[in-house]
């Protein structure tokens, strides 16, 4: 995320919540940036897609052998 969306990271410090995912959170600086044109809508669309892919990926847990 830091490598792919550096401009998000720079404004994310202004998000209301720490660990904001910039999706449905209120008072999100990234969404505000998209709204006022600081962040390109296409970049945000890209980010949403990236996030969906992450979410779709199933976590892998290593089972401990007993
Ligand atoms: Zn945010």
Q: Which residues have CB under 8 Å from 22's CB, separation 6+?
A: 8, 12, 15, 28, 30, 31, 44, 47
Q: CA-to-CA distance for 48 and 8, rounded, in angstroms?
A: 12
The per-residue pLDDT for 1 is: 64
| CATH superfamily placement of domain 2-56 | Probable gtpase engc; domain 3 (1.10.40.50)
C-alpha 63 to ligand 1 mean position (Å)? 34
C-alpha 58 to ligand 1 mean position (Å)? 24
pTM beyond 0.75: the answer is: yes
pLDDT in tens, the chain (66 residues): 668 899 999 899 999 999 999 999 999 999 999 999 999 999 999 999 999 998 898 777 778 877
Q: Tell me, what DSSP letter sits at residue 16?
A: S
The per-residue pLDDT for 64 is: 81
């Amino acid at each position: 995320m830091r490598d792919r969306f550096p401009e998000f990271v720079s404004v994310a410090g202004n998000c209301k919540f720490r660990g904001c995912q910039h999706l449905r959170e209120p008072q999100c600086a990234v969404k505000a940036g998209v709204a006022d044109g600081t962040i390109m809508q296409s970049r945000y669309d890209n980010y949403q897609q990236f996030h969906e892919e992450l979410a779709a990926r199933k976590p892998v847990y290593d089972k401990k052998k007993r």
